[in-house]
Amino acid sequence: MATREELRQRIVDAIDAHRDEIVEMAEHIRQNPEIGYQEYMASDLLARKIDEQPGFEIEKPVANIDTAFRATRHGRGDGPTVAVIAEYDALPGLGHGCGHNLIAGSGLAAAIGLNTVMDELGGTFEVLGTPAEEGGAGKVFMAEEGIFDDVDAALMVHHGGNMTGAPTQYPDGTCLAVAHLDIEYFGQTAHAGMDPYNGRNALNGLIHFFSGVDSLRQHVHMETRLHGIITHGGDAANVVPGYTAGKYYVRAASKEQVEDVLAKVKQIAEASAAMTMTEVKITQHPTCYDMRPNYVMGRQYNANMDEVGLVRNGGREGRAYHSTDFGNISHMLPSVSGMFAISEDPIPGHSQEVVDCSGSEFGYEQFIKISKAMALTAFDLLYDKELMGSVKEEIATRDN
């Protein structure tokens, strides 16, 4: 019977032995970006690579989503189920400007690592391929279909610009809840010069909505973020716009706060329609909850980062102001994300810099290390009953 240390070493050695193959796959995904729900190449490639590991069963598609999958590796007996989350969607017009090619790669690395020890462990290891993190809420739909029901703990990696570390105390690692809206205004077209009095202007409806929300900004909690774009502003300058459309996000510190602000935003949309004698239609997509990391898992993750020689610089302190569909999962079960630097200097999120750094030598070096740290943490959770006990106790007794 191998010792804990021997099993851990096996995981690290396996990832090292497959380093080139893992990096190659992440690079291929980076160079061939696919946006949310269209990640056919990336999800097929990742699922196929995991399937090459003996002992994994692949289910694809799952949850009625073509690009979602579950890869399962059973251990030798009963025990908890630990899942690693793999994202692979890119950003429209930008490519892998959020580095999700590396998250996909970490799923393969973890599968390769854990595969070498599962025959000697109780429980189950899973890689969950979760599409459309960027605004598509893939994990929310997967959760609704029960994909996370049997999962005891979920782990992932995410680039952190120049920051490395996992959160260890509240409110570190938390982020904002978000509601996504599609807003459409319907008016009446008319000749803008000859008979504008016959028109009802759908663009005015949308513009007054945007400026109405600007008046609300003064009266929301400081973490609230209200932002959107116009996707259709009309068809011709000499036609009174009969149809306009936009996308709007409402972000706040909790889903309760999002709902509160959302009610006001909807009232403004209706008021703007009344003011311009147009009609408004609002389509609301699933709300992503604020992230609630498991700090026991965060501390174990950090210890493993230290062990694989990944230099931590504290991660990001306090609440971050992005949102993620991983938030919903973190409300259901113990979840944590390990942040890793892909650049030595600060870089903007969702940028060409991220696209470049996610394929840089430094980025790949760091990515292999964080993948090892995540795989070791998954192993610890499967191996160490006491650790899993404190992980579960934390989520059961969380009160803030």
Applying CB under 5 A, the residues found at the interface with Zn ion are: 98
Among residues 42, 8, 15, the alpha carbon closest in space to that of 110 is found at 15
In the complex, minimum distance from the CB of residue 91 to Zn ion, in angstroms, rounded to a whole number: 9
Task: Please give the residue whose beta carbon sits closest to Zn ion in the complex.
Answer: 98
In the complex, minimum distance from the CB of residue 24 to Zn ion, in angstroms, rounded to a whole number: 22
Greatest CA separation found in the chain? 88
Where are the alpha helices (H) located in the chain, listed in sequence order? 4-17, 19-31, 40-51, 100-115, 138-144, 202-216, 255-276, 295-307, 326-332, 352-357, 361-383, 385-397
Nearest-angstrom CA–CA distance, 338 and 167: 8
Q: Cβ contacts of residue 248 below 8 Å, gap of 6+?
A: 180, 181, 183, 213, 226, 227, 228, 265
Backbone CA torsion sign across 4, 9, 14, 19: positive
Tell me whether residue 53 or residue 337 sits nearer to Zn ion (CB atom).
337
In the complex, minimum distance from the CB of residue 48 to Zn ion, in angstroms, rounded to a whole number: 23
Tell me whether residue 56 or residue 88 sits nearer to Zn ion (CB atom).
88
Amino acid in position 262:
L
φ and ψ at residue 21, rounded to 5 degrees = -65, -40
Q: How far is CA 90 from the centre of its chain?
A: 11
In the complex, minimum distance from the CB of residue 98 to Zn ion, in angstroms, rounded to a whole number: 3
- Across the strands, what pairs with 127? 71, 84
In the complex, minimum distance from the CB of residue 60 to Zn ion, in angstroms, rounded to a whole number: 22
Tell me whether residue 98 or residue 137 sits nearer to Zn ion (CB atom).
98
Q: Are strands 225-232 and 153-159 parallel, antiparallel or unpaired?
A: unpaired
Tell me whether residue 98 or residue 142 sits nearer to Zn ion (CB atom).
98
In the complex, minimum distance from the CB of residue 209 to Zn ion, in angstroms, rounded to a whole number: 28
In the complex, minimum distance from the CB of residue 373 to Zn ion, in angstroms, rounded to a whole number: 18
In the complex, minimum distance from the CB of residue 333 to Zn ion, in angstroms, rounded to a whole number: 20
Alpha-carbon Rg for the chain, nearest whole angstrom, is: 23
Nearest-angstrom CA–CA distance, 72 and 186: 49
Tell me whether residue 98 or residue 378 sits nearer to Zn ion (CB atom).
98
Tell me whether residue 124 or residue 130 sits nearer to Zn ion (CB atom).
130
φ and ψ at residue 8, rounded to 5 degrees = -60, -40
| C-beta of residue 223 within 8 angstroms of C-beta of residue 176 | yes
Amino acid in position 127:
V
User: Token digits for 144?
Assistant: 């609704």
In the complex, minimum distance from the CB of residue 73 to Zn ion, in angstroms, rounded to a whole number: 26
Amino acid in position 381:
L
User: Token digits for 263?
Assistant: 């009610």
Tell me whether residue 22 or residue 98 sits nearer to Zn ion (CB atom).
98
Nearest-angstrom CA–CA distance, 142 and 149: 10
Nearest-angstrom CA–CA distance, 12 and 376: 8
In the complex, minimum distance from the CB of residue 45 to Zn ion, in angstroms, rounded to a whole number: 19
Tell me whether residue 209 or residue 301 sits nearer to Zn ion (CB atom).
301
Tell me whether residue 152 or residue 325 sits nearer to Zn ion (CB atom).
325
Tell me whether residue 98 or residue 268 sits nearer to Zn ion (CB atom).
98
- Across the strands, what pairs with 250? 179, 226
